[in-house]
Amino acid sequence: MFINLKKLGRSFKIGFSGLTYAIKSEDTVRAGVIVSIAMLFIAFYFPLTAVERSIIILSIIFVMGAELINTQIEKILDVVDKDYNHKIKIIKDISAGAVLLSIIGTGVIGVLILLSNI
């Protein structure tokens, strides 16, 4: 029942390593980080409630998580087949579509929250 702190520490180290790699190597992840920082600034600049701020933060985490999963899918598929493959293109497009959907949803949430506080 006890937590193995050494294993937990290794897991966090691996997670941060993956996050660092994605930020350094993927333009879309870097863009997401920049937009996330801007959204956090806006969330704490305006007089929002803790619930509204939490919703914005969770939305940011959702988009960034979707982007990381999309990046992971693309990397896996690049290993599977380095040449052009129409079926792989469809999978990558669907994955990118999921990210786009999360961005649109987060944008709508942000606009609704901010408009209700102006």
Q: Which fold has domain 27-115?
A: Helix Hairpins (1.10.287)
Task: Give, in order, the Cα–Cα distances in Å from 12 to each of 9, 20, 76, 92, 101.
Answer: 5, 12, 22, 28, 28
Nearest partner of 22 among 65, 83, 62, judged by Cα: 65
More confident residue, 2 or 1: 2
pLDDT attached to residue 2: 84
DSSP collapsed to 3 states, 7-46: HHHHHHHHHHHHHHHHHHHCHHHHHHHHHHHHHHHHHHHC
What pLDDT digit, counting tens, does each position of 19-35 carry?
A: 999 999 999 999 999 99
What pLDDT digit, counting tens, does each position of 60-111 carry?
A: 999 999 999 999 999 999 999 989 999 999 999 999 999 999 999 999 999 9
* Domain residue extents for the chain: 27-115
**pLDDT over 90 (residue 1):** no
pTM for the model: 0.90
